[in-house]
Amino acid sequence: MKAYYHFNQLRLVGKGWEIKNKLREWARHPMTLKSFLDQRVPRP
């Protein structure tokens, strides 16, 4: 599975079960998508 990060979007590419597992893993953390992307990708 591959994950592409941009300052305002997240793109997951892979098999359905891989993406589903990754989303479940991330759902365990009390973090919004915006705060996640802010930590991963610096804004231009």
Specify whether the CB–CB gap between 13 and 20 falls below 8 A. no
| CA–CA gap between residue 13 and residue 30 (Å, rounded) | 23
Render 9-44 in DSSP notation, one character per residue: EEEEES-HHHHHHHHHHHHTS---HHHHHHHHS---
Count of domains observed in the chain: 1
Over residues 18-35, mean pLDDT? 91
For residue 17, the enclosing domain spans 2-40
The pLDDT tens digits for 12-23 are: 999 999 999 999
Coil, helix or strand for 7? coil
Say yes or no to pLDDT of 7 above 90: no
Question: pTM of this prediction?
Answer: 0.71
